Amino acid sequence: MKLDRIQVDNFLGAHHIDVRLTTPVTLFAGPNGAAKSSIGEAVRMAMTGDVVRVNLKKEYEQLVTDGAKAGGGLVTVADERTYAFNVPAGDISADDGLPTGDTVDVALNGQHFTTMTSDERRTFLFKLTGIRIKTDDIEKRMTARACDPAKITATLPLLRTGFPSACEFAKTKATESKGAWRTLTGETWGSKKSGSWVAARPEPVTGTPPAADSLAVFDADIAKVNQRVGEVAAEKRTRAENVAKRAALETKAAGVDRVREALAHAQKELAEFEPKVVAMRQRASGTKRIGLVHDMAVFIAAVEDDAYTKDAATLLDRYEEEHGELPQAGAVDADAQASLPEFERGLEVMQNSVKNLERDLAATLEAKGQFDALEAPAKQEDLPDLDVLQASVAKMRADRAAAQVQINAAANYAEAVAAAEKKTVDAGKHHADVLAWSVVADALAPDGIPGDMLAEALEPVNQKLADAHQQTGWMQVCIASDMQITAAGRSYHLLSESEKWRTDAMIAVVVAVMSGLKILMLDRVDVLDLPGRSVLLAWLNAMVIDGDIETALLFATLKALPATLYPTMAAHWVEAGNIADFKVAA
């Protein structure tokens, strides 16, 4: 990527910078505090979005040059597209198609790579070398490592968040399978013993259990005898009830003649007494007696013929014996009135007695009818002993219960054997899951597939770093599989300031070349001594000629501009936040 123009206004120490880049390599030089770093930070902020020197947006106003209200930067690419930002608003923009992100950030600041975490470095190198974490590719790699297909399918979606989370998922599943194995077996899982673990089988039952359908035979026999028990008990109850009922009816039916005689006697007395009561009523009321016999008595009493006198008197005497004294018509008998209530009560008593006896006779006749209808118990066939039948039922139930116990014991034994076999199979499955998930976890661990992929990514990177070593004579920089950075075998944090700078510079160059950005920015070039600067300029010139670098921005604190530069390079003097045009050198 070729930059065409850099414009910075009122940003940190840069007041007004407007530089057209006419050569691939541009050096910004000047004294301390001249605003060289401000120019570089403005370029990096515009192209990457990284905010420098402050952390919060409310602090952006501190990035504005003292005395100004606003500032910003504009970086123009050769095809007129631009990167831009402004402060204190904090708006950062890039035209469509312009590269941004960590790759640009490392090319513009090699030290950015060394500040990344190990995981961030891996991700960055994958992206740099074009190695993508694609599910199809990862699936093939996992299959090649003998990962279980089902577990590959379960794990692949987690790769969207990276290898660490997918690896942790597999480890967790392996741990869960170990826990399931431990819960099932009651023992601690072990890689060797768990594969051959077998559940203990129960002790076999003794004897041969009866057939399951024998219980149905027992049930049928018990039901049959129970039915007979019910029939015998019912027959005995019926017989006892008939005997008691006949005895009660016999006693009641025996009183028919007595009740009949008493009724006849009462009816006779009532028949004899009723005329007397009637006569008494007539006498008491003075009314004429009604009836033929009374009419004849009245006629006889009126006969005066001597020839009939004696006979008439005899008839009247007999009449009065039966019906009382013949009253005179219209005469009231005071004695009859006095006696009438007693006669009436007597009549009522006799009538009620007759009614009661008639009712008793009807009930007695009904009882006799029932008694006659209920045959006398003849000699009947003796019934079975109910106690014997019930004892038989109890024995059959006991035999059935014993058979049930044997059948249950056999069934329980079979179930226990099946459960033990299932337990053994399930334990084997859990053990297999532990091993399978462990294979997946190992495949996704840093030294597994990520390590393989990283090795593929590191090979060209370290080769480029080796090329840089050959071209510059600087220490051999290498990035290890654990993402540790070394120079001449020494860890990065043990390097001197200039060694760290050269390491960062070589990493930035490799990123610029391998990413295809072909853009580079190196601040604090003055950390190098004069021979080191010469090596740097010669190296950059060679890369420009080879087409590896299109734009390189260098910043150095110098006393003056270099006397001579390669044709691929130009230099600008920066002082007090501005470009001093009269000191421009080419």
Residue 229 in tokens? 């028990």
What is the reported pLDDT for 95?
94
What is the reported pLDDT for 583?
47
What is the reported pLDDT for 586?
40
Q: Could you say which residues of the chain have pLDDT below 50?
A: 378, 582-586
- Domain ranges for the chain: 1-99+520-586, 102-145+448-516, 236-373
Residue by residue, what is the 3-state secondary structure of 290-344?
CCHHHHHHHHHHHCCCHHHHHHHHHHHHHHHHHHCCCCCCCCCCHHHHHHHHHHH
Residue range 450-488, pLDDT digits in tens: 888 888 889 999 999 999 999 999 999 999 988 999 999
Cβ within 8 Å of residue 144, ≥6 positions away: none
Torsional class of 315: left (φ above 0), alpha (ψ -120 to 50), beta (otherwise): alpha
Instruction: Kindly report the number of other CB atoms within 10 A of residue 172's CB atom.
Output: 12
Residue range 337-364, pLDDT digits in tens: 788 788 888 888 888 888 988 888 888 8
pTM: 0.59
What is the reported pLDDT for 372?
73
Helices 118-129, 497-515: axis angle to 10 degrees equals 40
The CATH number assigned to the domain with range 1-99+520-586 reads 3.40.50.300
Beta strands in 411-524, from DSSP E residues, in sequence order: 477-479, 485-487, 490-491, 519-522
